[in-house]
Chains A and B, each alone.
Chain A
Amino acid sequence: MKRSAADNVGLAVMVAIAAFSLLALVGPSLVVIGISFTERQYISFPPVGFTLEWYAAIFENQQLIDAAKTSLVLAASVMATCLALGMPAAFSITRGRYGGRQTLSAFLLAPQMMPGMVIGIAMLFFGSFFAFRQSLLMMILGLTVFCLPFVVRMLMARLALIDPALEEASLNLGASRSQTLKRVTLPQLLPGTLAAAAFAFIEAFDNLTVVLFTASPRTRPLSVELYQLVQFDSSPLVAAISALEIGLAFLIVLVLSRTVGLSRLGD
């Protein structure tokens, strides 16, 4: 099929906008990484010289170190809780033979329609009634509500792909149900589990919308600390922290693409 001149213009416009969009998606992160090495005391582009002083400044700042530790504990706890609750639930909905599974699934996935802010505020108000104050625990509970639907959905999608014949074969050959679960089912579910775990971890680590309402002033995670810094600190310190976060995210994408396959990430 021959292309007319107008077709070629149309194609060029499409490709140009697509290229611009992709550049706009990653460009800003590259700019931030560039800025983090500048020798100036304020943000300026292009960066001047090369220094690791801003990275050193992160590790000399006890408040930031504590915040990073809080974030790691928070993210790990949310990830563990989401998997502990989400994995059995995903099994139940995908494989159950009882009635009302649609309703049940809709209920479990419902929180994903809620903005994080609403979940955070609801948790804050709820806690105030029982003298349950803003704390690490409140952040963990709020973020688990926030992440659980995504974890359940990712696990359900993966579970639906597993061929039941393999399990039946295992059972017929005399393996017990728990042996079959451990040796046959769970290994097949591993890629989905890794992706869901990574999602919950990253979301809990980065989240601001739930955490701004549930963090106590004394145990602030890195995201809240960073939010304050962005508003009140104009030095390239924020760029260095951001660059480290971008690096961490990139590392996780790399590991996931090797183990899970990228096409699954879009689910």
Chain B
Amino acid sequence: MTDMTGSDSGGAPRARTRGDPGPIGGSLMSAVPALAFLGALFVVPLGFLLSFAFLTIERGDIVSGLPTLRHFFETLTDDLFWIVAWRSFWVGVVSTILCVVFAYPVAWVYSELKGAWRPIVLVLVVAPLLTSAVVRTYAWIVILGGRYGLINSLLIDLGLIGRPLRILNTDIAVIIGMVQIHLPFMILPLISVLDGRDRAREEASLALGASRIVTFFRVTLPLSVPGIAAGASLVFALSYTNFIIPQLLGGGNYTTLALQVYEFIIVILDWTEGAVRATLLLLSCFAIVLLINKLGAWYTRWLEAGR
């Protein structure tokens, strides 16, 4: 960052002449406060987080000064870690797939709608983003929970079941919560891809006699893969690192990697173990997001090459 600041006068002269100070607000100086802020309070703290994974810390004090890989080794050879990591991955993948299934029709219908319906759909999609995650998770406790929850009251009143179903505190409740809470993050990128799409190829396909369904699967869907990839990487990252939903809807002993990080740091106060798991969570999350984006890009390139 220091060399960026230093290049203020050096790097810019090609466009600047004495009489023209450039567009208003276009100096590098105006970005310096934000850069300094993020440097001091984002980059440096992140360095602390990563380095704590290599140190031994008890109750906020460094016990041994020498960096060690021991904590990573211990975690990675722990069977329980792999069970929890696999569950986190599985929850993330299932939530992402279900989000695509439920979000795609919304975005597609939006792109086909005209007039007054469009802002209504957009409000329904955006409004939940403005309510807090706790409130939205709590709503699912009300709906899925206990004998008097919405689902159980309804099913019992209809005579479909005799005893209340146990949905809350299971995988199903966690997945339902994840999908519903992250759905807008899938719908919005899909809307931006589908709504602005060039319909010439679809019209050509229809004119050549293909049915609407065939046209959808052969033309529209493949062309919207970049939107699916963008939404999927967002939803996966959000679901994989969410610890509030597993905590509230999964019950006391439903553990994911993200929830373990929270518990190690805030409840057990084992900061080293928390830092190790946070680092592993972050790295695996980035790797999977990168993979999703690469797959999307490969598919699009393959599609272009095939035409």
Chain A interfacial positions (CB closer than 8 Å to B)? 1, 3-4, 6-7, 10-11, 13-15, 17-18, 20-22, 24-26, 28-29, 31-32, 35, 42-46, 84-86, 88-89, 91-100, 103-104, 107-108, 110-111, 113-115, 117-119, 121-126, 128-129, 141-142, 144-145, 148, 152, 164, 167, 177, 180-181, 185, 202, 205-209, 212-213, 223, 226-227, 230-231, 238-239, 242, 245-246, 249-250, 252-253, 257, 262-263, 265-266
Contact = CB atoms under 8 A, between A and B. Distances in A.
A150 B98 CA distance: 26
Contacts of B219: none
B44 interface: yes
Closest 4 pairs (CB-CB, A-B): A91-B25, A28-B139, A95-B26, A206-B132
Contacts of A177: 21, 24
B175 interface: no
A213 to B, nearest CB: 7
B25 A28 contact: no
Contacts of A20: 102
Nearest to B147: A44
Contact of B105 (A14, A95, A98, A246): A14
B138 A22 contact: no
A97 B241 contact: no
Contacts of B243: 117, 209
A113 B290 CA distance: 12
A156 B265 CA distance: 36
Contacts of A252: 130
Contact of A97 (B16, B101, B125): B16
B30 A17 contact: no
Contacts of B33: 84-85, 88-89
A145 B38 contact: yes
B23 A89 contact: no
Main secondary structure of the interface of B (DSSP, over half): helix
A250 B4 CA distance: 43
Contacts, number: 301
A208 B12 contact: no
A164 B38 CA distance: 29
A117 B46 CA distance: 12
B31 interface: yes
A100 B187 CA distance: 33
B122 interface: yes
B232 interface: no
Nearest to B243: A117
Q: Is the interface of A mostly helix, strand, loop or mixed?
A: helix
Given A28-B140, A92-B28, 13 more contacts: A1-B206, A88-B34, A92-B30, A103-B4, A115-B282, A115-B285, A121-B274, A121-B275, A122-B45, A126-B45, A213-B266, A230-B141, A245-B131
Given A28-B139, A35-B142, A253 B106 contact: no
B127 A231 contact: no
Contacts of B16: 97
Contacts of B143: 28, 31, 45
Contact of B25 (A6, A24, A88): A88
B123 A97 contact: no
Interface residues of B, number: 102
Given A226-B134, A266-B122, A29 B139 contact: yes
Contacts of A1: 206, 212
Contacts of A21: 102-103, 105-106, 183, 187
Contacts of A113: 237, 286
Q: A96, A104, A141, A252 — which one has the most chain B CB atoms within 10 A of its CB?
A: A96
B137 interface: yes
Contacts of A35: 142
Contacts of B139: 28-29, 31-32, 242
Nearest to A1: B206
Given A45-B150, A202-B130, A212-B262, A266 B142 contact: no
A86 B34 contact: yes
A250 B149 contact: no
A84 B37 CA distance: 11
B180 A45 contact: no
A128 B265 CA distance: 13
Most buried by A among B29, B46, B128, B238: B46
Contacts of B28: 92, 96, 98
